[in-house]
Amino acid sequence: MEGNNNGTLVDEPAAAGSGTDGLLLHRGADFDDGQNGYCGYRPPKKDAMVKEKQNSTRTYDRDGFRRRAACVCVRDAGEQEVLLVSGSRNPGVWIVPGGGIEPTEETSMAAIREVLEEAGVKGKLDRCLGVFDSADGKTRTCVFVLIVHELLDDWDEAKTMGRQRKWFTVAEAKKHLEIHRPAHCSYLDRLRPSDTPSSSPSFVTS
* Cα Rg, the chain, nearest whole Å: 16
In 151-170, which positions are buried (b, 16+ CB within 10 angstroms) versus exposed (e)?
beeebebbeeeebebebbeb
73, 150 Cβ separation under 8 angstroms: no
141 pairs with which residues across the strands?
68, 132
Tell me if residue 117 is catalytic: yes
Q: Which of 81, 106, 117, 157 is catalytic?
A: 117
In 69-86, which positions are buried (b, 16+ CB within 10 angstroms) versus exposed (e)?
bbbbbbbbbbbbbbbbbb
Q: Please list the active-site residues.
A: 117
